[in-house]
Structure 1
Amino acid sequence: MSKPFPPDFLWGVAASAFQTEGATREDGRGQSVWDEYSDTPGNTVNGDTADIACDHYHRYPEDIALMRQLVVKAYRLSIAWPRILPEGRGKVNPLGLDFYDRVIDLLLHEGIAPWICLHHWDMPVAVEATGGWRTRDTAAVFADYAAVVARHFADRVKFYAPINEPNVIPWVAYNLGRHAPGRQNRDACLRAVHHLNLAHCMTVRALRAEVSGAHIGSIISLWPVHPQNDDGPHREAQVLGECLWRRLMVDPLWLGRYPEPLASQLAPLVKPGGYGLHSPENGFLRP
């Protein structure tokens, strides 16, 4: 017999900015890689874009009313990076912050705790043009963006996650080319793995510096990997699949190192010194 959920279990809902907000060209928002990708013929079914999406940008009061009716107590929203920093860095767009002020204030009024995910894949086009997750500097740029958001909402938001499903980005966006920015390059994929890990680390430090009592987690897609057949080659493929899909993001968080058989391939990207993060031994992967 299954056990009931404990009375203090926190029920919530979640959404991503690009999939729900729409208003992709309103109030100073910059363009994201997903805008560019979905505007390219052949990349989406029926040529669909997120220019309108669920129109959450204009209909958020109705959406939050639905959350209230569901009696949920948390909403994990993502902040659109190009809505806050249209060029990914530099000048802040006050209208972008104003929108999330309205959303968060209404959530709190309705007794719903806002949980912020800082990045659900909608990197500003200007950042991708300078290398995106292929480039080490992007980790610092992202941490600076995180500090801007955290500083602004520190009095109202205590729950944060830096990046949604960081393990998906390298393989699907930079290796298979099926997500924005649609690249197909193994070297770019491995570089993205390391720079996303580094961005997570730097962002946790930035959040802790800006938000007293911050609760910070990670959102990793942990689908299991099973061999199709129980023989040597398939078991070997399972080990590699576990590394590619899960362990390249999980092992650095908990063990402070990359897993074999890919650790040696990532070693040239890891520099001495740097940032500790998660364990009492300060053992997070060094950038």
Structure 2
Amino acid sequence: MKLSRADFPQGFQFGAATAAYQIEGHRFGGAGPCHWDSFAATPGNVIRAEDGALACDHYHRMEADLDLLRDAGMDAYRFSTSWARVLPEGRGTPNAEGLDFYDRLVDGCLERGLKPYQTIYHWELPSALSDLGGWTNPDVADWLADFAEVICGRIGDRVHSIATINEPWCVAWLSHFIGHHAPGLRDIRAAARAMHHVNKAHGRTMTRLRDMGHDTCGIVLNFEATAPASDAAADIRAAATQDAINNRWFIEAIAKGSYPAEALEGLEPHLPRGWQDDMAEISQPIDFLGVNYYTRNHVQAVEGVPWPSSTVVDGPRDKTQMGWEIFPEGLHGTLTRMSRDYVGDLPIFVTENGMAWPEEPDHADGVRIDFIERHLQAMHAAIADGTNLQGFFYWSLLDNYEWAFGYEKRFGLVHVDFDTLERTPKASYHALADAIARKDGA
């Protein structure tokens, strides 16, 4: 790679990210059932009905996986804490084995000189809470805050930062309107309520964390570059609506205490009564913003179907194994937009950026190396344009369970043989390690 640590500001954090259900092995250590277990067990939801019961068995291989981060010269590790592992019933008595596991994880990071970046919730809602309506139930705000108090009461004294929720759009819209993720609903009323309740849960959890004395707290939002499929007025309107749903809904609630009009057009009739009363808590200050970015979507209007009356069509650029268009310029645009329109000089981290790609012979991984290089260039340009970007976490350290795509899509810097669970660093792992190690631009 042409860029190296020397090209980024002093103190810039390089790391990799994972998520609990995708790597740990949910059947171990007393974890309770979660809605992804039942979603995966329902025919047609997940490729080959695969689930996270074994995943990468990080639960038993944690030390070796942390060694991979250390040996790559990384500064930090972004991980999530499984709600169902810590509180198997979602509430009530904590699971001692789960708390002990995260104790060992955080201590293992610190022993290796890695800063632990915790994400409280990354999608594994306990089944007992799903039975009560999950994210459509307004009480979920208190449920999440209570979970945060338990887990952060145990490890919060040693983590470097805490994010409340990973990718609220996926938690709410992708899961309750599109139906692609657990719980797999396609219901606009459920989606609208989940879209608001996930914000409410963020705000309530921030309140609880502040009460506990934490001062490095934020949220991780996912963004896409959004473009109309043509210059037609209908396509331009459709793209503006999708931008409001996917990109603006959450950041405007947090930064401005409001929702975008283009999204309210379809969602407001289905929002809970008195939703406006929650906006003050939702919009309380955060200490950092996590930005997840992967792709650009081209939006086309569709006549004769209900709101939002649109579909996504292929763009002209090369695609990843996920079928996502490779568009690094969109990362630059997202970062500068966030600092210009929403958060000013607040610290921003690219908390996820990466690509799925089929295995290359001998793990050569040249396409992924080019992908990382081009997105690092986009980050470098955003910093030059005034964005207070303070770190980058590649998604993901390991090939892992990719939700509805099972184990078919490979995002990892490290190859995982899902039969033997053997780890093999790819060329991209070594290329990024080399870039991190070079501190003089040579």
Is the structural similarity TM-score above 0.5?
Answer: yes
Match of 1:183 in 2: 185
SS in 2 for 1:96: helix
* Identity score, percent: 36
Structure 1 gaps, min length 5? 281-287
Mapped partners of 1:155, 1:186: distance in 2 = 40
**Deviant stretches of 4+, over 6 Å:** none
Match of 2:406 in 1: none
Q: Highest relative contact order (Cα 8 Å, sep 6+), 1 or 2?
A: 2
**Partner AA of 2:18 in structure 1:** A
Cα distance change, pair 174–53 in 1 and its aligned pair in 2 (3 A) = same
SS in 2 for 1:226: strand
Match of 2:21 in 1: 18
Note the C-alpha offset of 1:49: 1.7
1:275 maps to 2:281: yes
Listed as ranges, the matches of 1:9-158 within 5 Å are: 9-22=12-25, 24-158=26-160
Match of 1:283 in 2: none
Note the C-alpha offset of 1:46: 2.0
**What do residues 78-131 of structure 1 show as CA deviations (whole Å, max 9, x unaligned)?**
000000001111111111000111111111011101111011110001111101
Match of 2:246 in 1: 245
SS in 2 for 1:262: helix
**Partner AA of 2:132 in structure 1:** T
Contact 1:28 1:83 in 2 (8 A): yes
**What do residues 167-207 of structure 1 show as CA deviations (whole Å, max 9, x unaligned)?**
12222111111111111111000000100000000111111
Cα distance change, pair 8–275 in 1 and its aligned pair in 2 (3 A) = closer
Note the C-alpha offset of 1:278: 2.8
Contact 1:32 1:82 in 2 (8 A): yes
**Partner AA of 2:244 in structure 1:** C
Mapped partners of 1:40, 1:229: distance in 2 = 38
SS in 2 for 1:219: strand
Cα distance change, pair 243–107 in 1 and its aligned pair in 2 (3 A) = same
**What do residues 38-89 of structure 1 show as CA deviations (whole Å, max 9, x unaligned)?**
1223222122221111110000011001111111111111000000001111
1:202 maps to 2:229: no
SS in 2 for 1:218: strand
SS in 2 for 1:224: strand
SS in 1 for 2:178: coil
SS in 1 for 2:247: helix
Mapped partners of 1:239, 1:116: distance in 2 = 33
Mapped partners of 2:15, 2:66: distance in 1 = 12
Note the C-alpha offset of 1:262: 3.2
Mapped partners of 1:161, 1:183: distance in 2 = 26
Cα distance change, pair 58–279 in 1 and its aligned pair in 2 (3 A) = closer
Alignment TM-score, normalising by the size of structure 1: 0.92
1:5 maps to 2:11: no
SS in 2 for 1:180: coil
Mapped partners of 1:87, 1:230: distance in 2 = 51
Cα distance change, pair 112–153 in 1 and its aligned pair in 2 (3 A) = same
**Partner AA of 1:45 in structure 2:** I
Match of 2:260 in 1: 259
SS in 2 for 1:257: coil
Contact 1:173 1:181 in 2 (8 A): yes
SS in 2 for 1:225: strand
Q: Which has the larger radius of gyration?
A: 2
Contact 1:115 1:158 in 2 (8 A): yes
Note the C-alpha offset of 1:279: 4.8
Note the C-alpha offset of 1:269: 4.7
Cα distance change, pair 67–215 in 1 and its aligned pair in 2 (3 A) = same
Contact 2:16 2:78 in 1 (8 A): yes
Note the C-alpha offset of 1:162: 0.7
Mapped partners of 1:239, 1:154: distance in 2 = 39
Alignment TM-score, normalising by the size of structure 2: 0.60
Give RMSD over aligned pairs: 1.9
Contact 1:204 1:277 in 2 (8 A): no
**Partner AA of 1:6 in structure 2:** P
**Partner AA of 2:273 in structure 1:** P
Note the C-alpha offset of 1:158: 3.6
Mapped partners of 1:158, 1:114: distance in 2 = 5
Note the C-alpha offset of 1:145: 0.6
Contact 1:108 1:114 in 2 (8 A): yes
Contact 1:154 1:210 in 2 (8 A): no
Q: How many residues in Structure 1 have an aligned counterpart in Structure 2?
A: 278
Contact 1:158 1:211 in 2 (8 A): no
